[in-house]
Amino acid sequence: MSPSSQQELAQLFRRFLAPESVIDAPTSLAAYECDGLSAYRQTPLLVVLAETIEQVQQIVRLCNERGVPIVSRGAGTSLSGGALPHEDGIVLSLAKMNRILTLDALSRTAVVEPGVRNLAVSEAANPLGLYYAPDPSSQIACTIGGNVAENAGGVHCLKYGLTLHNVLGVKLVTATGELLSIDQQSMQSQGFDLLALVIGSEGMLGVVVEVTLKLLPIPECARVVMGVFDKVEKAGDSVAGIIAEGIIPAGAEMMDNLAIRAAEDFVHAGYPVEAEAIIICELDGTEEEVESQISRVEAVMKGAGATETRIARDEAERLLFWSGRKAAFPAVGRLSPDYYCIDGTIPRKALGTVLAEIRRLSEQYELPIANVFHAGDGNLHPLILYDANNPGELEKTEQLGSKILQLCIEQGGTITGEHGVGVEKLGEMCIQFSDQERNQFHAIRQAFDPNCIFNPGKAIPTLARCAEHNAMHVHDGKLPFPEIERF
């Protein structure tokens, strides 16, 4: 789009948006050129900030009429390039739509706008004795709208589920500006499960403008057991053993030595820095339930080869143990100029095998890897350390990341557990899914968005792109957006 067209579009938006809600200055646009996956960058044509549902509808109608791509954005914490702008499109920021509309203690629900921070929901519900269970590591910053787009999880997803399991309904603005209410609050709901389709759709079906969340009672008791291991494979086996014992922990997280050392140096959580791996296992429920389960979990860990087990002495130490895990990503960031976070998922029984292969790949590619992941549900987050200033190192890192994701597929897993596909995993989508399956994905998308204005170039590769997926790399820091195939 030419500069004059950019100016014309900005003027059209300013007819119904406040002047400061239309951003077109190059220096200001630079703040939106990437999300948490900062290896990929692209400056958008414009950024517009909506404050009401009606404004979102007007923005979408205007863009649909002119064929202008729309990339919706919350806090920009996505780790797969899901909020990467389109060079000929706008970024629709929902940051100003940040109100908690209702909190209902009787129905245990919260109705929120998409720009509400994840942690803010639990903070607001706390006086009612309630909380919102999904807790991504970025929960202090990430928004509910972004959580819905990526089906975010967190350290407590093993027992309480992902975003999908904790959302009761959404309001969605379609490509024509229509407002749809999609919910599954009634057990008698019939027909297609559209709510499950929208959650995790990465902003390609519409703009989520309101979300109804399920709240849970704060557990009477929560205790943490830490298992210390001299081999990562033993730690992985212990998690499978805990589940096999019939215990479903609130969370079961694993960190290897590199991640342990980084987190301990960062937050001083009391981690054993000589350990090859630790398991942080949280148990919650009544006092009696938790006491019973703690002894059983300790027995399983020791049976799997734990050299030591530690029980958090009090609530302060429980939070301290978790603080190291939740700060693991920024902590590892202190070890290297750059790191690349993988998000594959495997069956629990394959943990030992996959961890051993990741270690071999790390040595082969001569790139350190820190492993931090949701061991309970097999959601891996290997962090590959690299330096983008070294020529060719980003490309080598991407190749290593792809090998790890292919390994997940080979073990019966999938290429994403909670970060989404975005632009990062388009090549691996060609491996995991057949041409027929990808055609069906495109058909579903076009049923909602015939002109493909919502987040084009993301998540679903075209058949032509899959034919050339070995050549799919970022060049000179700019990601190409191929034309969307028409059906």
Q: What is the pLDDT of residue 37?
A: 85
Read off the pLDDT band of 25 (50, 70, 90).
very high
**4: phi then psi, degrees, rounded to nearest 5:** -65, -40
Q: What is the pLDDT of residue 469?
A: 65
Q: What is the pLDDT of residue 479?
A: 45
Q: What is the pLDDT of residue 470?
A: 47
Q: What is the pLDDT of residue 481?
A: 45
pLDDT tops 80 at residue 56? yes
The per-residue pLDDT for range 127-143, each reduced to its tens digit, is 999 999 999 989 999 99
pLDDT tops 50 at residue 419? yes
**CATH class of residue range 220-424:** alpha beta
Read off the pLDDT band of 463 (50, 70, 90).
confident
Q: What is the pLDDT of residue 103?
A: 98
Contact 235, 252 (CB under 8 A): no
Q: What is the pLDDT of residue 323?
A: 93
pLDDT tops 70 at residue 11? yes
Q: What type of residue sits at position 356?
A: A
* Average pLDDT of the residues of the chain: 92
User: Where are the domain boundaries for CATH 3.40.462.10 in the chain?
Assistant: 220-424
Regarding predicted confidence, which is higher, 104 or 465? 104
Q: Which of the four CATH numbers 3.40.50.300, 3.30.43.10, 2.60.40.10, 2.160.20.10 does domain 3-93 have?
A: 3.30.43.10
Q: What is the pLDDT of residue 168?
A: 97
User: Where are the domain boundaries for CATH 3.30.465.10 in the chain?
Assistant: 100-217
**Which of 98-102, 349-353, 461-465 is predicted most confidently?**
98-102
The per-residue pLDDT for range 249-298, each reduced to its tens digit, is 999 999 999 999 999 999 999 999 999 999 999 999 999 999 999 999 99
Poorest-pLDDT segment among 4-8, 64-68, 91-95, 413-417:
4-8
The per-residue pLDDT for range 305-334, each reduced to its tens digit, is 999 999 999 999 999 999 999 899 899 989
pLDDT tops 90 at residue 51? yes
Q: What is the pLDDT of residue 487?
A: 27
3-state SS of the chain is CCHHHHHHHHHHHHCCCCHHHEECCHHHHHHHCCCCCCCCECCCCEEEECCCHHHHHHHHHHHHHHCCCEEEECCCCCCCCCCCCCCCCEEEECCCCCCEEEEECCCCEEEECCCCEHHHHHHHHHHHCEECCCCCCCCCCCEHHHHHHHCCCCCCHHHHCCHHHHEEEEEEECCCCCEEEEECCCCCCCCCCHHHHHCCCCCCCCEEEEEEEECEECCCEEEEEEEEECCHHHHHHHHHHHHHCCCCCCEEEEEEHHHHHHHHHHHCCCCCCCCCEEEEEEEEECHHHHHHHHHHHHHHHHHCCCCEEEECCCHHHHHHHHHHHHCHHHHHCCCCCEEEECCEECCHHHHHHHHHHHHHHHHHHCCCEEEEEEHHHCEECEEEEECCCCCCHHHHHHHHHHHHHHHHHHCCCECCCCCCCCCCCHHHHHHHCCHHHHHHHHHHHHHHCCCCCECCCCCCCCHHHHHCHHHCCCECCECCCCCCCCC
User: Where are the domain boundaries for CATH 3.30.43.10 in the chain?
Assistant: 3-93
Q: What type of residue sits at position 170?
A: V
pLDDT tops 90 at residue 395? yes
Poorest-pLDDT segment among 123-127, 402-406, 478-482:
478-482
Read off the pLDDT band of 341 (50, 70, 90).
very high
The per-residue pLDDT for range 221-259, each reduced to its tens digit, is 999 999 999 998 899 889 989 999 999 999 999 999 999
Q: Can you tell me the mean pLDDT for 419-432?
A: 95
Specify the CATH architecture of the domain 100-217. 2-Layer Sandwich (3.30)
Read off the pLDDT band of 486 (50, 70, 90).
very low
